[in-house]
Structure 1
């Protein structure tokens, strides 16, 4: 080259075939190794995750059962406290067992519908029962009550 001469235009570089190829779209070795590693980790951790989840469910069930049991215990303790009260015991004996205090005369009204029976004065109902049984022999009253019970059962 001469000192004052213009520089020669540089030859254009031709692209190589390797440079112009697009990147491979399939799995590379690195991606395949990463996928295999990920599968191994998931397979190794799956039993532990399953056990953890099932144990949490069992713990939640146990807590719910414990809460229900504690509620039952509280209810039973209240029942024990109620049974310590003599008035409650007396009321239950009258209602459940039809027991009466010494000197009381028990009366049972038969044949009156429960709604009408509740509206009647208890003294009036007792007086009607005494009059009806005083006028007739006991077996007549018994036979009438059996017949009335049969009519009520047939009416249902």
Structure 2
């Protein structure tokens, strides 16, 4: 309790204390009044969340599973279409004959068959992917001079063997 003092005229002087300024959340909480209806509604909302949350999770999982199964069905339907086309091709006698000639190397009586061994059918190329030339090419260096230079260099060097460059 604040200490009271007497003035000269005999009246009491009480010190005045200013109230502390409150923040916005404190003011909001001080003015908040909970009635029975508010508490009942809050309890119902919490109960609804507790009851519906697991079912909502299950619903989302099932939707994802349905989407995955629909994609699988679409892929299966496309493969069925491709297989149906393949079956239709096998109904054609010309296709059957062509497959027998190609896969099994069958020939009709009187036909002459040539079998090339080692032919891959693909055009071969260099490391760069350029086609191999069928024309004769000349080198731009003198290989004999290069060979003799290499022999002289190897014979006259004083470097140890591990320091010499080896060509694979």
Q: Shift of the alpha carbon at 1:67?
A: 0.9
Residue 34 (structure 1) shift:
4.3
Matches within 5 A, 1:21-36: 25=29, 28-30=33-35, 34-36=41-43
2:58 and 2:112 mapped to 1: Cα distance?
69
User: Which deviations, in whole Å up to 9, do the C-alpha atoms of 1:20-71 show, x marking residues without a partner?
Assistant: xx95616643566544432221110012211211221121112111111111
CA distance in 2, matches of 1:48, 1:115: 60
Distance 2:70 2:104 in 1: 40
TM-score by length of 2: 0.48
Number of equivalences:
95
1:103 equivalent among 106, 110, 113: 110
Say which of 45, 48, 51 aligns to 1:41: 48
CA distance in 2, matches of 1:115, 1:63: 41
The residue matched to 1:29 in structure 2 has which SS?
coil
CA–CA distance in structure 1, aligned partners of residues 65 and 120 of structure 2: 53
1:88 and 2:92 aligned: no
Offset at residue 113 of structure 1 (A):
6.4
1:44-100 superposed Cα distances (whole Å, 9 cap, x missing partner): 001221121122112111211111111111111100000001111111111111111
> What TM-score do the two structures reach when normalised by structure 1?
0.51
Alignment of 1:53 with 2:60, yes or no, is yes
The verdict on how the C-alpha distance between 1:111 and 1:23 changes in structure 2, with shifts beyond 3 A counting, is closer
- Unmatched segments (≥5 aa) in structure 1: 1-21, 117-156
RMSD: 2.6
| Greater fraction of residues in helix | 1
